[in-house]
Structure 1
Amino acid sequence: MNAAKSVLSKVDLTGKTALVVGGTAGIGQGIAIQLAQLNANVVLAGRNAKAAQDIIKGFPNSNSHSFEKVDFSLLKDTRRFANEVKQKYKHVDYLVITAGIMRMTGRQETEEGIDDKMAVHYYSRARLILDLIPAMKKGSRVLSVLAAAQGSLVTETDFDLKNSYSVYNASQACPLYNDLLVDKLSTLYPDVVFFHALPGMVKTNLIEGLPWYLRIPTKLMTPFATTIEDCGAYMCSGFLAPERSSGYYLLGPKGEVVEKLKVHTDELRDKVYQHTLDLID
């Protein structure tokens, strides 16, 4: 934690706008708390306005922070949300996406024909980033929090797992796709710095969505888990480090840079990105 505090002691985000999607609970809340302490104007985005208002009350200068509602499982609502953000806030200096679904059942398609878990963990992330790029200045930073360098390739013929879905397959595909996305976007938008992070085990309420036979052993591990406040500090130290000023980075639980997977090739990156554009458009 001392290393994270050392990095953050040199950071002042006064006058900067930080949008945290998923910031009304868990890891996103921890990151939002840290960003507010660094003097950013924080915009919390999610579905729970009451939770957001309670969190904002605890921020320094609470009047400079706000909440925006979004259903991140739907691309159309993500686009609406992005347009409203551009109109209301003019520019976004820091975009953080931590929204997640802890669900252990089979494929559940939204009205748009996308599995809701994959929409939240990948496709809506890509949609939001691309829609907000015009509102980002040189030096803006994007952080997607899921499971950097932890995924694997399930199939190259069914990227959205329409015919090969399982909870395990989704848990492998989405982290890899996020790795590939930040890589590809860094080549297309060199003025913006992109990050994908693995937060590790964190004390959040997401475990309540697990079946009992997984919830009980997971709860037994919580004494060893990181608090959301400490996780927020680690994640912020990782993606706000001044020396990480161009390209893309994959981050571990302490904000350290980790190596990409062997399957992470330029060829696969471009294939997944083209698939992504075809689906989200």
Structure 2
Amino acid sequence: MVSLKAVQASNASLRAFPNITALFVGGTSGIGQSTLRHLARYADSPTAYIVGRSQERASPFLAELRSLSPKGRFHFIEADVSLVRNVDLACRQIVDQESHLNFLFMTPGGISLGGRNETPEGIDYLFSLRYYARMRFVQNLLPLMTTAASSSPSRVVSVYGGGFEFPINTDDLDLKHTFSLLNAYKHSITMTTESMEYLAQQYPSVSFVHAYPGLVGTNIYNNSFPSPIASFYNVAMWPFHSVSLQESGERHLFHLTSARYPAKQQPAGAGEVATGTTGEPGSGVYLLNWKGEVRSSPKLLTQYREQGIPELVWKHTEQLLEEAVRR
């Protein structure tokens, strides 16, 4: 376990990095909000873009961020990112304003007890939030992240289920024909890691983290269910929460910024680094638990790597995303 003291010391070192630019997708509540709040506290003059559903609901939090970091710049982008075309619009605003992007932090999602619920673009709603929309942000913004990597850290963090990879149906990756909530859960996790492995080879100056956050005291049930059901889950799950929301934010900022998880093409003289999914230190893709520890890489990933599944998954993802915006 990475101690909280070590986490805080690493986060405090952010003051030494000028011109940090970050994007938080799902940054107005829960883990994303807590992580962004800590970025505002630790960094000297960050620039942060926050993508969320409601400008009005986000306004008090934006005021808090500006109070925490008077020299910081905080920009809200209102968007429903379950739609790929909305992701493109949000990214365009950032590309038009910035020359580099250091950090991309993604937490959008929710809980469903129903069946497949397609968006107008033909993608299951939660599958889009957990995987496809996130990958569209990555795809669109990697050029800015590569530019950032020439002089400062550059990292993608997707918070979901890193370390819980399962076999997937490579003949039905988007689950058009074999959808179930369990299959969607499995595919979202495994396809995230597979795509990260492929992209780390193509963009070796950018590092990728797929994190499992543990059970955190967030408002995910309130955002996913009607009030009576949400209240039941909040009470029932409270004893199982492994980490407070505040500590989770501290630790996820560490995941996002620490030199412990470098890109494959890491700078010379880097200190102690974590072991990546290939079993090699500093390989560029990391599966982390909430403590910052590397989760053991399943044998499945080795088998998939040998079979070329990372490339297969990414090529499918590119094709589906392009089809979505043409609908």
Q: TM-score range by the shorter chain?
A: over 0.9
Structure 1 residue runs of 5 or longer lacking an equivalent are none
**TM-score, L = length of structure 2:** 0.80
Aligned to 1:179: 193
Q: How much has 1:224 moved relative to structure 2?
A: 4.4
1:147 match: secondary structure: coil
**CA distance in structure 1 between the aligned counterparts of 2:5 and 2:237, rounded to whole angstroms:** 24
Q: Which residue of 1 aligns with 2:57?
A: 51
Answering whether residue 87 of structure 2 is matched by residue 75 of structure 1, we say: no
Alignment of 1:276 with 2:313, yes or no, is: no
Match of 1:250 among 248, 262, 287: 287
Residue type at the aligned position of 1:207: Y
Aligned twin of 2:12: 9
| Moved beyond 4 Å, runs of 4+ | 210-215
Aligned to 1:38: 42
CA 1:51–1:229 in 2, change beyond 3 Å: closer, same or farther? farther
TM-score (norm 1): 0.93
Deviation at 1:38, TM superposition (A): 2.0
Q: How many residues align?
A: 281
CA–CA separation in structure 2 for the residues paired with 1:172 and 1:124: 17
Q: Are 1:141 and 1:239, in contact at CA under 8 Å, matched by a contact in 2?
A: yes
Cα distance change on mapping 1:200 and 1:38 into 2, 3 Å: same
Distance between the aligned counterparts of 1:103 and 1:217, measured in 2? 13
Task: Find the residue that maps to 1:270 and give its secondary structure.
Answer: helix
Deviation at 1:261, TM superposition (A): 2.2
Measured in 2, the distance between the counterparts of 1:34 and 1:196 equals 20
| Percent of aligned pairs sharing the same letter | 29
- Please tell me the residue identity of whatever aligns with 2:162: A
C-alpha distance in 1 between matches for 2:261 and 2:79: 30
Residue 143 of structure 1 and its aligned partner are, at CA, apart by: 0.8
State the Cα deviation string for residues 90-134 of structure 1 (Å, max 9, x = none): 321111111112221110001111101111110111111111111
State the distance in 2 between where 1:253 and 1:185 align.
Answer: 23
Give the structure 1 partner of residue 96 of structure 2.
87
Q: Equivalent residue for 1:118?
A: 127
CA drift at 1:214: 8.5
Distance 1:162 1:260, change over 3 A: same
Q: Which segments of 5 or more consecutive residues in structure 2 lack a partner in the other structure? A: 264-283, 323-327
Match of 2:235 in 1: 219
- Structure showing greater radius of gyration is 2
**Candidates 220, 230, 254, aligned match of 1:237:** 254
* Alpha carbons of structure 1 residues 224 and 2: separation in structure 2 relative to 1, 3 Å: farther
